[in-house]
Amino acid sequence: MPTKSNPIARFNQVLLFIVLVFAILYFAKPFLIPIAIGGMMAMLLVPVCKRLEQRKIPRGLAAVLCVLLTLLLLLAGGYLVFRQLVELGNDLPMIGRKLNGMLNSGHDFISEHFQLPVAKQKKYLQSQIAGLSDLAGQFIGDIFRFILSFLVHVLIITAYSVLLLIYRRRIKNFVLSLVSYYAGKERVAEARDIVDKTAAVASAYLAGVFSVALIFSVINTTGLAIIGVENPLFFGVMVAFINIIPYIGSVAGSSVVVLYTLVTSDSLLTPIIVAIFFIVMQQIDSYILTPKITGSKIQLNALFTIMALLLGSLVWNVAGMILFVPFLGVAKIIFDHVDSLKPYGNLIGDRDARG
């Protein structure tokens, strides 16, 4: 029986292809992550670059101006957040004293109501804290290694972004040439439409995601300042940008702020108000801002979005959690425009196929 009519052989070929793709993604991530971030940044800046080019600014100069201005804005925002982080570090001794007082109160309560000696409580607690400290240290170490790696590669990412903006037409023509060679000239117009839609939708989606993050940075910072939370800028920006990670980002970020206020506040009222504030903001995000700004750009269902998050975390760590969802969205656009791949687009989309 011919190989291509054998379903088992075809399944093995597809499986081998998938394994090779993810092996390359995993082992080549030091090379691929800067390219992916540079590509994401370039797609985000394509509309701005086009407007500058329409004003008779040369493409190379327009690309450099777009990327450098974006980089300066990011560095300015990073500097403000870093200053807030330094101020937060000054509060650590006070946080330690309050934690110690809370632990002592907990020991007395347990000893009084459950007849468990304080010495045994402390011994058990120390063993648990030791394990949690190792996990927390590993997590914080991973975050700082990612930030350090990003800073080391920032010049490379900047260069990639500029060059991708400059050579975007050449890259598009290369893809169309491949389509013409392998699929025939009659498919070139369709391929051009797919490339244009993919670039436009990816650019609009990324712009929408960062617009939502900036809006929530302002709202979170203002709200936390009114509530009376210290270092509101740091926590407001942190929660807003962690929220870029779908589904789990908002819960993780807001939980950090609630725990911080629970430790630093003298009453339970402040953490309760903070929790209510973030619940309300999450509803506004889910039902108003995100659907209006990014909801119509990439329509992925929750199942495959979470799978993309977990797979991205496994392959590329934090960078993968942020990048793999837009990658899946771009793949959906391609699936929706290729007849043989439309079932896959329906599978990962958030709308039921009509028939």
* Closest CA relative to residue 304, chosen from 272, 331, 328, 270: 328
Q: What is the pLDDT of residue 123?
A: 56
d(CA 144, CA 198): 33
Model pLDDT for residues 326-338, shown as the tens digit of each residue:
788 778 877 887 7
Alpha-carbon distances, residue 207 vs 81, 87, 118, 210, 244 (angstroms): 21, 31, 55, 5, 12
Please choose, from the candidates 269, 272, 227, 235, the residue with its C-alpha nearest in 3D space to the C-alpha of residue 252.
235
Q: How many CB atoms lie within 10 A of CB 145?
A: 12
pLDDT in tens, 263-289: 777 778 888 999 999 999 888 887 777
Q: Give every CB contact of residue 107 below 8 A, 6+ residues apart in sequence.
A: 118, 121, 122
The answer to whether residue 90 scores a pLDDT higher than 70 is no
Model confidence at 342: pLDDT above 50: yes
What's the start-to-end Cα distance of the chain, in Å?
35
Between CA 162 and CA 311 the distance in angstroms is 29
pLDDT band at residue 3 under the 50/70/90 scheme: very low
Mean of the per-residue pLDDT values of the chain: 78
Per-residue burial over 220-236, b = 16 or more CB atoms within 10 Å of its CB, e = otherwise? bbebbeebebbbbbbbb
> What is the predicted pLDDT for the residue at 5?
55
Could you tell me if 212 and 290 are in contact, meaning their C-beta atoms sit under 8 angstroms apart?
A: yes
What pTM, to 2 d.p., does this model score? 0.71
In angstroms, rounded to a whole number, what is the distance separating the alpha carbons of residues 45 and 43? 5
**In the structure encoding, which two tokens stand for residue 282, read together?**
């999450």
In the beta sheet, which residues pair with residue 51?
none
With contact defined as beta carbons under 8 Å apart, do 261 and 271 qualify?
yes
Burial class of 320 by CB neighbour count within 10 A (0 to 12, 13 to 18, 19+): buried
Give the tens place of pLDDT for each residue, 109-147: 555 555 555 555 455 555 544 454 454 445 455 556 666
Do the beta carbons of residue 264 and residue 90 sit within 8 Å?
Answer: no
Q: Which residue has the higher pLDDT, 2 or 238?
A: 238
Q: What is the mean pLDDT of residues 188-202?
A: 80
pLDDT in tens, 59-87: 999 999 999 998 888 888 777 777 777 77
pLDDT of 2 reads 47
Helix (H) or strand (E) holding 347, with range, is helix 342-348
Residue 167 banded pLDDT, cuts 50, 70, 90? very high
Answer with the residue of higher pLDDT: 287 or 240. 240
Element (H, E) at 155: helix 154-166
